[in-house]
Amino acid sequence: MTLPASKASDPRSIAGLPGGSTLLATTQQQISRAAANLNLDPAIVAELQHADREIMVMAPVKMDSGEWKYFLGYRVQHNNALGPYKGGLRYSPNVDFAEVRALAALMTWKCALLGIPFGGAKGGIQVDPRQLSDDELYRLTKEYTRRLLPNIGEHVDIPAPDMNTSDREMAWIVEEAGRQLNRPVPGIVTGKPLSHGGNPGRKEATGNGIGTVTVELLKRFGKAPAESVVAIQGFGNVGRHTALYLAKQGCIITGLSDISGGIYKADGLDIAAIDAHVATGKLLDTYQEPGVEHIDNAQLLRLSVDVLIPAALENQITTDVVTDLKARSIVEAANGPTTLAAQDELARRGIPVVPDILANAGGVCVSYFEWLANTSDVTWTLESTRTELAKTMYNTFQTVRERSQATGRDLRSAAYEIALQRVAKAMEERKEGRKAAE
């Protein structure tokens, strides 16, 4: 097979806009379009285009050298009409308000679409975690937590792991918040280690959820997993567990990539061997297997596959990519991986896209299970977690597909309409309640 030619592009900047600004503009446009289809109250739509609260903190950290450095931290609380704010905490040098605003709004729609009683939030610290020692990251996380309290809490705002954070950072937050509040607060974050009140199956949840909707999408094509070809951009926690799930279902995964580059094998990669290779701390550019070709990101996005799964950064699927696209469908594992213009072109061409607010919602679904366990008498096993996650993702996919068929609009439009309708209804009911109390 001749692989498509490489096309260089900057994944963080589209049409002169930083990645976060582009994602924010795209997210706001989605709201406007869904609201127009639903004929919603303009006042509610205007409110939903802005966050309820935006917080910025300056976190001083004493470095191992004795020097003091200062790091900007953000938390955006978009909407809590359906329940406490909920969303991840990421560590990245690219974090800014535009990015966090967009991601917080996406969390609102994600939770509403799944029927989870949470609102949307997102947070981040402007830092390259690779440049800090574990002790420095520990002190930074603790300081961010201290400065964010009391704006986070079990029934206020519940962070979770995100880009470059994990159960380790969540454990640090639980410990510091408990110390500051002088009481145990396991429900203040989700995605914790089991020893700190975490839920079994949380790490794999987003990937398993993506895998579930991918298999359901393939069924709509009349294809069994064993005869389906998939490519996945990104092999972090999300991409890795997606690949493991789909490989277990029998899918032929021909392409994978990470920050070092990509690999391709026409008759399917050995996912178990690749997982073992990466588990040692190595990247894909050092992986060798008979028949494997090393490719770049642009080539991976243009592979001929049944399903392309972007599971890396936002703004990866541009109109240039769509022009050369050979994938039969796309499942958005990353947040905002497709630019607005590319979304429109995909819809025009009739290429099915499972949107991010549905595809990658498995993480927040299991976060909800964890929060329930922390704040009530409900307990979850790995088996019950996997069963309920699969049921929730399947039912939501069916609901979105049915609305898409009824309206004649694409899956993304259907998903946003369902989510927006639910949030708007809750906002209207809340306003009516306030009027009645006056």
Contacts of 412 (CB under 8 A, 6+ apart): 30, 343, 347, 353, 355
Contacts of 68 (CB under 8 A, 6+ apart): 60, 61, 62
CA pair distance 355, 416, nearest whole angstrom:
9
Largest CA distance in the chain: 73
Count of other CB atoms within 10 angstroms of residue 384: 14
Token pair recorded at residue 163: 């880009």
- Residue 159: cis peptide before it, omega within 30 degrees of 0: no
CA pair distance 20, 12, nearest whole angstrom:
8
Q: Which of 7, 86, 110, 122 is catalytic?
A: 122
CB 384 within 8 A of CB 378: no
Count of other CB atoms within 10 angstroms of residue 341: 14
DSSP secondary structure letter of residue 6: P
122 labelled catalytic: yes
CB 71 within 8 A of CB 129: no
Bridge partners, 18 (sequence order): 13
From first CA to last CA, the distance across the chain in angstroms is 71
Token pair recorded at residue 314: 């936002």
Active site residues: 122
